Amino acid sequence: MAVPEPAEGRRRGRDETEEERADRRWAELIQEVRVAQTGVQILFGFLLTVVFQPKYERLTHTDQVIYVVTVVLGAAATGALIGPVSLHRLVSGRRVKPQAVRWASRLTFVGLVLLLATMTAALLLILRVATHDGFVLWLVAVVVAWYLLCWFALPLWTRHRHTSR
């Protein structure tokens, strides 16, 4: 028996129009962003307080540089992960939801990469201050590898393995 062709304006897979698909993808994306936003905002908030602690002045120049880089990365990640909300608000009602969803998805991906960099730099700084040992870079490398596996490798493998061309 032949598979019926999709109706005009509809895609294969789900029976939805481009607008319905954009609505669904937006709802899914905003749920994902909420998780990442919360994490980056809490991390960024804590980072902002470090410079006001008495121990900050006793950090080595290298550690202070790592701190500044970490704060800037955290600010950039926060901006990218809040960007989809602003994007949606500014284009809402303009009949560009499919395009807005694509841009919001890109901002979210950039935000996740920046969050990865922020967490890496923060971990490096904390472990350098806490241990002063040579194995710090190895510990950071293992954690970054774990993040890369969980956030990128496994999802990309799943996409490759379980989607048809």
Does the residue 158 lie in any domain?
no
Residues of the chain with pLDDT > 70, as a percent, come to 91
In tens, the pLDDT along 101-147 reads 999 999 999 999 999 999 999 999 999 999 978 899 999 999 999 99
Q: How many domains does the chain have?
A: 1
Structural domain of residue 37, as residue ranges? 18-133
How far apart (Å, rounded) are the C-alpha atoms in residues 86 and 79? 10
In a domain, residue 79? The reply is yes
72 in any annotated domain: yes
Residue 113 lies in a domain: yes
pLDDT at residue 54 in the model: 94
What's at 104, amino acid-wise?
A
Task: Kindly state whether residue 164 falls inside one of the protein's structural domains.
Answer: no
Query: Bridge partners of 17?
Result: 10
User: Is the distance from CB of 114 to CB of 77 less than 8 angstroms?
Assistant: yes
- Please state, in angstroms and as integers, the Cα–Cα distance from residue 157 to each residue in 150, 154, 161, following that order: 11, 5, 6
pLDDT digits (tens, 9 = 90+) for 10-33: 445 688 998 899 999 999 999 999
163 occurs within a structural domain: no
